Structures are given as structure tokens and as C-alpha cells.
Amino acid sequence: MTAAMSKDQELRLRAEAVIPGGMYGHQSVALLPDDYPQFFSHGEGAYLWDVNGRRYLDLMCAYGPQLLGYAHEEIDTAAVEQLRRGDPLTGPTELMVTLAERMTAMVKHAQWAMFCKNGTDATTMALVTARAHTRRKTVVLAKGAYHGAAPWCTPRPSGTTAEDRANQIFCIYNDIASLEAAVASAGSDLAAIFASPFKHDAFVDQALPEAAYARRARELCDQRGALLVVDDVRGGLRIARDCSWSTVGVEPDLSSWGKCIANGHPISALLGSEKARDAAASIFVTGSFWYAASPMAAALVTLRLVAQTDYLERIERLGDKLRSGLHERASASGFRLRQTGPAQMPLFLFDEDPDLRFGFFWSSEMLKRGVYVHPWHNMFLSGAMTDLDIDAALDAATGAFSVLKAKRATIKPSQKLQAFFAPIAKDVVGT
Ligand code: PMP
């Protein structure tokens, strides 16, 4: 350690020694611009502080879990009070039943709920439930969609086998003909169609679900006796106060939830319709921490606030304001920013930027100005954000676009991104 080293650099060095690769998974900054901090100290409301003491308006919201603000007084108090009473216990508390009642009342297609810890638990449980229900193996998934990090779905195949990914057929999101072809090639073995609530794949433009595609997925499942699964782990509660496909009038048989259902406290859920109840009861799924009461206490407060406040309408409105403000500022500087997906879960990609050099440069400039944006993953707005925050983000964008414009000709692509992409681009972007 040298005197000039920042706390973040010092921690990265220490991490190199004791954490493989220095960091792993989606919270590794290995594929972010060089100046992005790896370590943070705390969050409050819409803001996040890195270990070097810098504050950011956080447009990542912990990659989704933070729905109503970091360190939310009411939610965290409920969690801490339950924690002090014991957590986890030898069996669940009353909160588990109440939470299942609350979630099934909130999500129209759901008649039952099972709780787990991570989104991957919930999507894997959906897969197993569908196979148990149908006694078939094949699932149809959209190419490039993320459903978690278990061997059957991880986007980085290192350490997995072809057998882990057997019995999967891929279609193209929103493309009815490719969905029909995938279902046809499953023959009489279709167990499930998995769907993201909207196309939220990394590195490529997002797309809202087309109602005709969603309806066709429902019909095909009904015709074949298969189950329709919506993976609402990322979109859940930011698109609707119901399953996200309620916006296109389609109810799945199973939906997977996680991330923000307890405003960041560790809990996820599989919700299901009556049809799938017996199959769900037949599978053996469990975990040491799955029944813990403290996150359930947090979830109950979060869901009450979801029902009683206008957070959803607010993040939609703030997302629209951010989108139109960015559009104006990008155009004024001679750039076209492709802003896709729901405005409250935006992704910004620059036109004519295949190696993301402009995206990386602009994101760094935003970071310097106190706004944490992501150059290739969708972002998240939170109910803690205000008009003033969006105004500040737009002011930052004005500065960031103007430096980008001035330096445009001299900007180089990120070497680490290129090195990463070269061998595995196919797996990551699903092309
Ligand atoms: N499904 C989707 C759509 C996700 O976005 C994620 C996480 N980003 C998962 C599943 C897996 O969730 P977790 O990381 O909590 O296991």
C-alpha cells in the first residue's frame, strides 16, 4: 500500500489476494470504465457513497433491489425489530403466511407463494415446478435473456456441462414465428415457455413485450399443456403492481420475483396459479435462510408502501423526464442516444458506438459529476428520487455530452471490454 492509493484501490489489492478475480458476478466492475469504484460504504435514499467518500445519485439501485430508497426508515425498522426477535428460527413465523396472503392478493394470477433468497432460486424453482407438473423436460427460452446464475442458465458456461443446458430451445423475443418454431421442435415434450417481462438483455437495445407475442405464448402453453413462466425478478414492481405481463393482458402460470420485493432485504419468491399447486407441493426445495422472518417483515412493509403510495407513477414520470431531457442534450451535442425499455428501467446506448467507447466515456463523465450510470446494463429508478435529482442528472449530462463532443475523435475503446468480448460475445449477447 502506498500513501497515494485510494481506499478503493487499497481494497481491490486486498481483494485480489482473497477473492477470486478480485470480485465476481454482476457486481464486479471488471467490465465498467476504469474509474468506476468497486467498493461502497453506504446508501441513503437515492444516493450511494463509495469508499473514497464520493456521493452519487445511483441510477443502478443495487441492480434493482432498492425500490423505495436506501436505508428506508420504516422498512429497515421492521426488519431490524424482527431480527432482534430471532432470525432465522427453527421454523417460519406467522409473517410467512401473511406475506404469501399479501403477494397472492397483489398478483392476479397467483394462488400460492413459496419464498427463497435469490432470483435464481425462484427461476430454478419455476423450471423444476414446470417439469414436475408436465412430467416433460423441454423449455423454450428467449435467446440472450438472463434468468440467473445456476448451471442451467448462467451466461458464462465455464464449469457447466452441455447436459446442464440440455432440453432447452431458444426463440427470439417478440418474434412469434420463432416462438412457434421453438415450440414445434419441442414436439410433445414442452414443459414451459419462459418469458422476461420485457427484453432486458445486456449490451443490446431493450424491447417492450408485444401483446400478440405474449398472447401467443399463453395460447401455445394452453394447447400443449405446458406452463407459462414470467421471470419478473428484475422488472417486478417497477412495471406494475401485479405481474408485469398484466400490462399486456396475459397471465402466466408461474412468476418469479426477487430483488426489490423487500426493498433490498434478501428474499425472493415463486408465485403460481392453482393449476401448478400440486406440482409445487411435490418438489423438494429449501434453504437454510429461506424462512428467515426479518426479510419477510421488510417485504410486508415494502408491499404496503407499493400498494399505498404513488411510487410507480412517480418513477414512470421521472423516467420520462430523464429520457426526454437526455434526448435533447444528446441531440444538442450531435449524438443520438438510443433510450430503450420502460423509462423507469432505462438503457442508454449511443448510435454508431459498436465498441461502446462513447458509452464508456460518457458514463465516466457522468460519474465524475456525481451520477452513477451503467454503459450496457439497464438502470433502475427508485421511489426515493425527486425532480431535483433528475434535474441534477440532466445538468451532469449537459457537461458529459459537451466533453464527449470535444474529445470525440480521440476516444479509444476500452481494452478490457474488448478482451472480454472477443472470445465469448456469442454467449453474452446471444447473437
Ligand atoms: N432473472 C432476472 C430477469 C434477473 O435480472 C436476475 C438477476 N439480475 C435473476 C433472474 C437472478 O436473480 P439473482 O441474482 O437474485 O439470483
Largest CA distance in the chain: 68
Residues 34, 57: Cα–Cα separation, whole Å: 19
φ and ψ of 170, to 5 deg: -105, 140
Nearest CA, atom 5, ligand 1: 234
| For ligand 1, mutation pick of 28, 120, 265 (most atoms within 8 Å of CB) | 120
Pocket flag, ligand 1, residue 147 (CB < 6 Å): yes
Is the shortest distance between the CB of 244 and ligand 1 below 6 Å?
no
- Please list, in sequence order, all residues whose beta carbon lies within 8 angstroms of the beta carbon of residue 112, skipping any fewer than 6 positions away: 100, 104, 271, 272, 274, 277, 280
pLDDT, position 79: 98
378 lines ligand 1 (CB under 6 A): no
Q: What is the pTM of this model?
A: 0.96
Quick check: CB of 247 below 6 Å from ligand 1?
no
Tell me the pLDDT of the chain (431 aa) as tens digits. Answer: 556 899 999 999 999 999 999 999 999 999 999 999 999 999 999 999 999 999 999 999 999 999 999 999 999 999 999 999 999 999 999 999 999 999 999 999 999 999 999 999 999 999 999 999 999 999 999 999 999 999 999 999 999 999 999 999 999 999 999 999 999 999 999 999 999 999 999 999 999 999 999 999 999 999 999 999 999 999 999 999 999 999 999 999 999 999 999 999 999 999 999 999 999 999 999 999 999 999 999 999 999 999 999 999 999 999 999 999 999 999 999 999 999 999 999 999 999 999 999 999 999 999 999 999 999 999 999 999 999 999 999 999 999 999 999 999 999 999 988 888 876 555 544 33
**How far are the Cα atoms of 149, 304, 359 from residue 231, in angstroms, in the given order?**
14, 22, 28
Q: Alpha-carbon distance 101 to 313, whole Å?
A: 25
Ligand 1 atom with least separation from CA of 119: 12
Helix (H) or strand (E) holding 228: strand 227-231
Note the pLDDT of residue 421.
81
Q: How far is the CA of 256 from the centre of ligand 1 (A)?
A: 9
Q: Kind and range of the H or E element at 257? A: strand 254-257
State if residue 231 touches ligand 1 by the CB under 6 angstroms criterion: yes
| Ligand 1 pocket, residue 236 CB under 6 Å | no
